Amino acid sequence: MSSCIDQSLYTELTLTPDQRLKVPTRLLYEPHDPYAVHIVFYADTDEPVTWAFDRDLLAQGILRPSGEGDVRLWPTRTGPDAVLNLALSPPPGPPTSQPPSQW
């Protein structure tokens, strides 16, 4: 039986090379959607911003640069100082992200 993984954390949004903003974030994996990972950003907006991407992409991105297009990941450093970088590029047009219906 698979279990849900729901982790709250802070991510750092890079605004400029010298300016970063800490953003409350939620990382979610649910067995009913076994191939996706959802990441929810609780930025200073009316609604949280949700992205979904392939869990295999996340697993690969921890080890080496991965992804293309809207979602790209790459690791920096190793061990306790390891950092996973995540670059998100939304498609043009109005936002359509909505959290999964069970939330």
**Taking the model in full, what pTM does it have?**
0.74
Worst-scoring range by mean pLDDT, 15-24, 71-80, 91-100?
91-100
Pairing mode, strands 83-88 and 71-76: antiparallel
Are 91 and 71 contacting, i.e. CB atoms less than 8 angstroms apart? no
- pLDDT tens-digit readout, 9-60: 999 888 888 988 999 999 999 999 999 999 999 988 889 989 898 999 999 9
Distance between CA atoms of residues 47 and 40, nearest Å: 10
More reliable by pLDDT, 71 or 2: 71
DSSP letter for each residue of 90-102: PPSSS------TT
